[in-house]
């Protein structure tokens, strides 16, 4: 299986961890156990030393879905500025798939 390189993962790490921690609470309150596990797996991956930069497409799809849920939830709460920051992150993840297809 070909892995996808996320070169900016170190730059985005703190924002991603913040989102993941927040979404774990949201998913738990809605009894979304699979999504909680996906978030926890990403937290574990982001806390590795050294941080890995190559991920399976499935892992990045899970991250994209988490970010999408975060955008929708935050936007519904009226925090448009924070939602815009999350949109930038999800855009980066989507572009990783496009780069991978070209290579």
User: What's the pTM value of the predicted model, to 2 decimals?
Assistant: 0.90
pLDDT tens-place string over residues 85-98: 899 999 999 999 88
What's the pLDDT at 98?
A: 81
What is the spatial distance between Cα 37 and Cα 18, in angstroms, rounded to a whole number? 16
- pLDDT tops 70 at residue 103: no
What is the spatial distance between Cα 31 and Cα 46, in angstroms, rounded to a whole number? 24
The domain of 13 spans: 4-102
pLDDT tens-place string over residues 19-60: 999 999 999 999 999 999 999 999 999 999 999 999 999 999
Overall domain count for the chain: 1
pLDDT tens-place string over residues 55-69: 999 999 999 999 999
């Amino acid at each position: 299986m070909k892995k996808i390189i996320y070169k900016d993962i170190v730059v985005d790490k703190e924002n991603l961890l913040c989102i993941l921690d927040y979404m774990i609470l949201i998913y738990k309150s809605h009894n979304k156990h699979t999504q909680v596990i996906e978030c926890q797996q990403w937290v574990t991956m982001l806390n590795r030393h050294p941080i890995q930069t190559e991920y399976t497409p499935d892992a990045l799809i899970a991250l994209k879905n988490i970010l999408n849920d975060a955008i929708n939830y935050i936007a519904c709460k009226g925090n448009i500025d924070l939602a815009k920051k999350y949109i930038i992150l999800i855009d980066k993840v989507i572009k990783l798939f496009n780069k991978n297809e070209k290579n």
